[in-house]
Amino acid sequence: MNTTQVIPGAESYFISGNSVGILIIHGFNGTPQSMEYLSKKFSTQGFTVYSLRLKGHGTHEEEMESCSYQDWVENVAEGYSRLKQTCHKIYVIGQSMGGALALDLAGKVDCDGVIAINAALQVPDYEPYRNFSAPRFIPDEKPDINDGDAFEITYPQVPIKAVNELLSLMDRVKKALHKVYCPVLLFHSPEDHVVPEHCSYEIYHLVSSKDKHMVSLDHSYHVASLDYDKDKIVEAAISFMKDRSEDILVS
């Protein structure tokens, strides 16, 4: 079995545009497919978009089992470096674990803004598996999406080792939120069945940013990028980025 062959539709993609770049990071057990709607909308506005696939995602559960959260941190750093080669401003957008990774990056580099969608600082359903090595795999529920017609590429089960890497990452990110000074836009779903809504409020209060905002997604569950409020995310995110990039964007 080839555990590194990428599932069709789950690939990373890069769309060239203007000198404002957007790094897009999917969530745990997700792929760039979950962020594709947002990515295409951003690209139609002229932005350069890089939606990366985190190691161990979109291939096979066994490859995910071999990953550490440091691999994902490195993937994000590499993605930022790639955009930095051609872009004068870079915004980082992440959903769930991707939001945590975006905030982690923002605490270490001079990015121009973070947009986090239901960013994960805690996943209560995974807490009982903390520091356990068995069972090897945990069944993963159907993606938490209110729109019954939506589809997300995911594994039907996730390695307990990867779950513990996620838990370690979230612990690390929460402790370092005070290092984030860039503008922050936080989207949160009141009816999120994966990440408690209070995580977004914690992030809002713990980051050192003066320019920070919250937007409620009242018709969406956890995977909001595929849910009923996806256009609300697009519109608010585009406004957020354009308002802070007027110095290099030509109207």
**pLDDT tens series, the chain, 251 aa:** 566 799 999 999 999 999 999 999 999 999 999 999 999 999 999 999 999 999 999 999 999 999 999 999 999 999 999 999 999 999 999 999 999 999 999 999 999 999 999 999 999 999 999 999 999 999 998 999 999 999 999 999 999 999 999 999 999 999 999 999 999 999 999 999 999 999 999 999 999 999 999 999 999 999 999 999 999 999 999 999 999 998 777 54
Domain ranges of the chain: 13-243
Question: From CA 234, how far away is CA 228, in angstroms rounded?
Answer: 12
Residue 27 CB neighbours (<10 A): 31
Q: What share of the chain is helix, strand, coil (3-state, %, to 5)?
A: 40, 15, 45
The predicted pLDDT at position 248 comes to 76
Task: Provide the H-helix boundaries in the chain.
Answer: 36-44, 61-65, 69-84, 97-106, 160-175, 198-206, 230-243
Predicted TM-score of the model (pTM) = 0.96
Q: Which fold has domain 13-243?
A: Rossmann fold (3.40.50)
Q: How many residues does the chain have?
A: 251
Question: From CA 200, how far away is CA 214, in angstroms rounded?
Answer: 8
Residue 3 CB neighbours (<10 A): 13
The predicted pLDDT at position 251 comes to 47
| DSSP per-residue letters across 65-96 | HT--HHHHHHHHHHHHHHHHTT-SEEEEEEET
> Measuring CA to CA, how many Å separate 76 from each of 104, 105, 134, 157, 158?
9, 7, 29, 24, 21
Over the stretch 80-137, which tens digit does the pLDDT of each residue have? 999 999 999 999 999 999 999 999 999 999 999 999 999 999 999 999 999 999 999 9
Give me the active site residues, please: 96, 192, 222
